[in-house]
Amino acid sequence: MPKITLNDQTYDAPPGKTIIQLADEIGIQIPRYCYHPDIGIEGSCRMCLVEVEKSPKLVPSCATPIADGMIVRTATPRVQQAVRYAMEFLLLHHPIDCPVCDQSGECWLQDYYMANAGHSSRYPGTEKTRRKKAKDLGPLVKLDQERCILCTRCVRFTRNVTHTDEIVVLNRGHASEIAIHGDKSFDNPYSGNVVDICPVGALTSSDFRFKVRSWFLKGTSAICGGCSTGCNLRVDHSARAMGGGIPGQSASDGKIYRTVGRRNVDVNQSWLCDEGRLSFHAMERWPRLQFPRTRGESRTVDALLPLIHQRFASIRDEHGDASIAGLASATNTNEALFLMKKYFAGRVDFRLGSEVETYQKRQDDLLRRMDKHPNTHGAIDVLLAAEPAGLGGLKGIRKMAEARQVRGMWISFHPQLIGDDAPEILVELQQLIGALDFSVVSTTHDFSWTAGATFVLPMAGWAEETGTYTNFAGRVQISNHAVQPPGEAQPLHKMMSVLLGLSSIQVSPDPAAIFDWIAREVSPYAGMDYDAIGPLGMPGVYSPQQEVVR
C-alpha cells in the first residue's frame, strides 16, 4: 500500500485515490468548486492546488493520484497565495449581489472568500460583464449566467450520472457560458440535483427560489417517503419565528421549504429524483385532518383512546380474538407496525395494492422504484415474517368483514407521497368501513371516504414522526421528525403505545425503545441497536433478494 505524507503525517492510502479524496477521509479541508465525489473529475477551478515535494508546480489535488512516498502540504504560503489568485479570478466578473442572490448563506464563494481570500476587487464594478439572468432551463431549474463560475458540475452531472447530456458549455474563453442546445428543455427526472451540487447561485430551484432565505432554515436528516429506495435526504424547515407574533403569518409553526439530497454511497449517492424532492408538497395536497372526527360529540384523541380500547375489548370478548384486526399502510414506521401487531395479536396486514410484488422493481436505472411506499420491506419483516399469508391483504380483510368474521378494525392510512393511490383501493376501503361494526381510521388528511368510520383520528405524516424505515434492500434507516404535526395529530406508534398500556402492556412511546424491542423479537433485526443505526442507516442482516444500487 502506498505511503503518503500529508501535512507532516504519514498515512497508508489505497492506490487509485486522488489526494483530495484521502484528505476528505482524514478530515483535512481543501477548498474546491469543480470536484464532487459522485460526478467525475474535471480539474478546472484551480482551487484545490497543493504543494507536492519535488514537483516544480503546484498540482490540483482532485486530479492527482496518490503515489508512494509522496509528500503533500496543503497549507503553505505558496498554496494560500494560489488559492487567493484563483478566487480573485472567479470573483472578477461575479456580480456581488449577495442580498438578492438565493444561494446567499450557503454559497461556496462566500465561504471560501471569507476563509481563503479576503481581497478587495481591483476591477471597476461598473464594467462587469452582464449576461442572461433568471433563464428557465426546465420546469425545476433556473440559470443565472452572471453568477456562474463555470465549474461544470452540472454538465458532468448530466453527462456522467443521468447520461442525458442536456447542459453544455457553449463558446470559448471569456464568452463561454453554461447553456442548453436550442430549445431543448432540461426536464429529466433527476434535474433538481444540479441545484444541490451548484456551489454558487447560478442554478436555483424554481420551487424553492425566493421562498425563504437559507439562514432561516433548520436541517433535519430524514428518509424520503416517496418510494421503496429510501433515499437519504435533509428536510429544510423553518426554525426561527419569522414575523414574530403577526397572527396567521408566523412561520414558527414548522413549514417544510425544501428537501436536499444527503450523501449515502450505499443508497442514493448524493441524488434525489424530482418527484421525491418535491414529494413533501404532497402533505399539503389535501386539507389536513387536525382534530378527531367522531359521530356527533367532539373529543380529544387522548380521551378517545380509552373508549376505543373498551370497544375493541368488548368485541373481542363477545366474538373471539379473530373478530378484531388492524390494517396498516407501508408508509407507517416499523415501530408503529410492530406495536399495532402487538395490540392486535398478530392480526395486522398492510397490503393495499401490489406493494409486495413491486417493491424491488426498478422504475429506471438510477433510483426510482415502482412501489411508492418507503417501508414495504420493513412491513414484510415485522408483520409477515412469521405468517407470509397474513390476512390476505385489503381484499382478504374485506371478504372477512363481509362474512362477519372481523367486526372491529383499526385502519391506518397514509397517502402515497408520489402519485395517487389507486381509486379502487379507496373504494375498497370505503366498502370495508361499511362492512364493519366498529372502525377507527387514523389518517393524515381529511378524506371523504372515511365518512362512514366510527372514529377518524388525525395521524402524524411523513417528516412529522421519528421512526425507522427499511428500504427495498433491507437497510434500516432512521427518519427524524422535522416539523410538528398539525392540531392534535399524533404518530401512530404513540397512539398504539397508549392502547397497549390500557391492555396492561407498558410500552414507552420512544421509538428507540420500541426499536430495541423489535430487535429482540423480529429475526431480521436481531442484534441491531437504535443508537448504532446512525445517520446513514444499517444494512439488514437478512434480506431475501439483495439488490445493490450501482
Partner 1 sequence: MIPVKGGYAVDVPVINVSERARREQATFWSTFKAFGVTFSRLFTSLIKRDMPTISYPEQTRNYSERFRGTHILTVRNDGSLKCVACYMCATICPAECIYIEAGEHPNPEIEKFPKKFDIDMMRCIYCGFCVDACPEEAIVMSREHHQAAYNRNETLYGIEKLMARPGIDAKGPGYRPNRPFAEAKIFDPKKEPSCAIPSVTEERHPAVLYESMIQKRQ
Footprint of partner 1 on this chain (CB under 8 A)? 99-100, 132-134, 139-140, 187, 189, 206-207, 209-211, 213, 215-216, 240-246, 249, 274-275, 278-279, 281-282, 284-285, 418-419
Name the helix (H) or strand (E) containing 308.
helix 301-319
| Comparison of 360 and 416: residue with beta carbon closer to partner 1 | 416
| Bridging pattern class, strands 476-479 and 467-470 | antiparallel
Question: Dihedral through CA 240, CA 460, CA 414, CA 308, nearest 10?
Answer: -170
For the bound state, the minimum distance from the C-beta of residue 187 to partner 1, rounded and expressed in Å, comes to 8
| Comparison of 42 and 464: residue with beta carbon closer to partner 1 | 464
| Comparison of 286 and 542: residue with beta carbon closer to partner 1 | 286
| Secondary structure letter of residue 373 according to DSSP | -
Helix, strand, or coil here: 476? strand
Under 8 Å between Cβ of 162 and 221: no
Question: Dihedral through CA 197, CA 202, CA 203, CA 204, nearest 10?
Answer: 110
Reference 150, options 93, 110, 192; nearest CA is 93
| Comparison of 284 and 321: residue with beta carbon closer to partner 1 | 284
| Comparison of 369 and 475: residue with beta carbon closer to partner 1 | 369
For the bound state, the minimum distance from the C-beta of residue 332 to partner 1, rounded and expressed in Å, comes to 23
| Comparison of 279 and 329: residue with beta carbon closer to partner 1 | 279
How many other CB atoms are found less than 10 A from the CB of residue 400?
Answer: 21
The H helix count followed by the E strand count for the chain is 15, 21
| Comparison of 246 and 532: residue with beta carbon closer to partner 1 | 246
For the bound state, the minimum distance from the C-beta of residue 491 to partner 1, rounded and expressed in Å, comes to 24
For the bound state, the minimum distance from the C-beta of residue 130 to partner 1, rounded and expressed in Å, comes to 8
For the bound state, the minimum distance from the C-beta of residue 140 to partner 1, rounded and expressed in Å, comes to 8
Q: What is the distance between the alpha carbons of residues 117 and 88, in angstroms, rounded to a whole number?
A: 8
> Which grid cell sits at 75?
497549507
For the bound state, the minimum distance from the C-beta of residue 413 to partner 1, rounded and expressed in Å, comes to 20
For the bound state, the minimum distance from the C-beta of residue 274 to partner 1, rounded and expressed in Å, comes to 6
For the bound state, the minimum distance from the C-beta of residue 281 to partner 1, rounded and expressed in Å, comes to 4
Q: What is the distance between the alpha carbons of residues 103 and 108, in angstroms, rounded to a whole number?
A: 9
| Comparison of 231 and 383: residue with beta carbon closer to partner 1 | 231
Length of the chain as a residue count: 550
For the bound state, the minimum distance from the C-beta of residue 237 to partner 1, rounded and expressed in Å, comes to 14
Beta partners for residue 60, in sequence order: 49
For the bound state, the minimum distance from the C-beta of residue 250 to partner 1, rounded and expressed in Å, comes to 8
Helix, strand, or coil here: 490? strand
For the bound state, the minimum distance from the C-beta of residue 77 to partner 1, rounded and expressed in Å, comes to 35
Reference 429, options 407, 456, 389, 397; nearest CA is 397
| Comparison of 282 and 337: residue with beta carbon closer to partner 1 | 282
Beta partners for residue 264, in sequence order: 269
Under 8 Å between Cβ of 254 and 483: yes
Q: What is the distance between the alpha carbons of residues 116 and 413, in angstroms, rounded to a whole number?
A: 52
Beta partners for residue 135, in sequence order: 143
Q: CA distances (Å), 216 to each of 210, 240, 243, in order?
A: 12, 6, 12
Helix (H), strand (E), coil (C) string for 70-128:
EEEECCCHHHHHHHHHHHHHHCCCCCCCCCCCCCCCCCHHHHHHHHHHCCCCCCCHHHC
> Which grid cell sits at 513?
425503545
| Comparison of 164 and 206: residue with beta carbon closer to partner 1 | 206
| Comparison of 209 and 263: residue with beta carbon closer to partner 1 | 209
